[in-house]
């Protein structure tokens, strides 16, 4: 059982929905980013999604693209992202960390070395948005064998024919993208999301977590009420980009977590 599986089992026992927060590793710099990540569990975050900065993102809107650029400008690398996770693990051995990014930096490092290093650093799962199921032999299956969950995205355009393929080697949870388009581009609507979550849950026993378009405590509550939890990314990253203090960012995250946990 991975930390992700254990977390969902604990939340289920408590009758609670999951709150997942996304932050970009190294934004605005390594030291501040580490402080923010360390503060997330106390703010109510159940699972940390840690962005791996990359020069050419595809699914990310301007807010997260700029965060990646700030991190890269400050010298953040794949290695320092793993270092950040390892540093976090010195004080917290239970909060799951999902590394979210693109395949190029992983390929460049070498899959076997990356997986060994990620496991050692305390990474629990991967979301690699530019590797479709047709490429599962490339990273997904080796990751599962190494004991890491491989989390797949489903979207409003994932139809009945495509869904089984998407779910085939997915583990940990399914990340449902609530809107068509990039992160931070539109608001998620529970009325639209609910039936889609039900459709996915009819095809898998995995938890379904909804992300994209959630930026207030009320939205977190509404979306979590029709799923197993929700993810907030751009709204948190925006606070960091505006130069808010670690305390201010934590307070904002806590308000979102409270919303999700009320669902």
Q: How far apart are CA 128 and CA 100, in angstroms?
A: 6
H-assigned helices in 62-139: 62-73, 78-89, 103-109, 111-121
Query: φ, ψ for residue 20 (rounded to 5)?
Result: -115, 130
Q: Tokens representing 258?
A: 């409270």
Distance, CA of 112 to CA of 107 (rounded, Å): 10
247 catalytic residue (yes or no):
no
Q: Are 38 and 88 in contact (CB under 8 A)?
A: yes
* 135 flagged as catalytic: no
Q: Which helix (H) or strand (E) segment is 144 a member of? A: helix 140-145
Q: Is 4 exposed, middle or buried (CB count within 10 Å of its CB: 0-12, 13-18, 19+)?
A: buried
DSSP string, 205-225: SS-EEEESS--SHHHHHHHHT
How many CA atoms lie less than 13 Å away from 127 in the CB half-sphere? Answer: 24
**Three-state secondary structure call for residue 17:** coil
CB 230 within 8 A of CB 55: no
Ramachandran sector of residue 181 (left: φ over 0; alpha: ψ -120 to 50; beta: rest): left
Q: Which of 27, 46, 60, 196 is catalytic?
A: 60
Give the residue carrying structure tokens 């299956």.
141
Q: Which of 5, 46, 49, 117 is catalytic?
A: 49
Q: Which residues are catalytic?
A: 49, 60
């Amino acid at each position: 059982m991975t930390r992700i599986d254990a977390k969902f089992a604990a939340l289920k026992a408590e009758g609670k929905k999951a709150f997942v927060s996304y932050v970009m590793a190294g934004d605005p710099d390594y030291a501040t980013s580490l402080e923010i990540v360390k503060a997330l569990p106390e703010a109510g975050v159940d699972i940390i999604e840690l962005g791996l900065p990359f020069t050419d993102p595809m699914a990310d809107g301007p807010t997260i693209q700029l965060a990646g650029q700030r991190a890269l400008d400050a010298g953040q690398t794949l290695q320092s992202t793993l270092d950040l996770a390892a540093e976090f693990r010195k004080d917290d051995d239970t909060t799951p960390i999902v590394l979210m990014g693109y395949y190029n930096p992983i390929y460049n490092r070498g899959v076997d070395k990356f997986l060994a290093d990620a496991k050692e650093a305390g990474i629990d799962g991967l979301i690699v948005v530019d590797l479709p199921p047709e490429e599962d032999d490339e990273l997904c299956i080796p990751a599962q064998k190494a004991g890491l969950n491989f989390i797949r995205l489903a979207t409003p355009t994932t139809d009945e024919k495509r869904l089984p393929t998407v779910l085939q080697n997915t583990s940990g949870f399914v990340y449902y993208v609530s809107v068509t388009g990039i992160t931070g581009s539109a608001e998620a609507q529970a009325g639209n999301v609910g039936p889609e979550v039900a459709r996915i849950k009819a095809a898998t026993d995995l938890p379904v977590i909804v992300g994209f378009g959630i930026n207030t405590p009320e939205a977190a509550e509404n979306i979590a009420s029709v799923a197993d939890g929700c993810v907030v990314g751009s709204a948190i990253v925006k606070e960091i980009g505006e130069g808010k203090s670690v305390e201010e960012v934590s307070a904002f995250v806590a308000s979102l977590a409270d919303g999700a946990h009320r669902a």
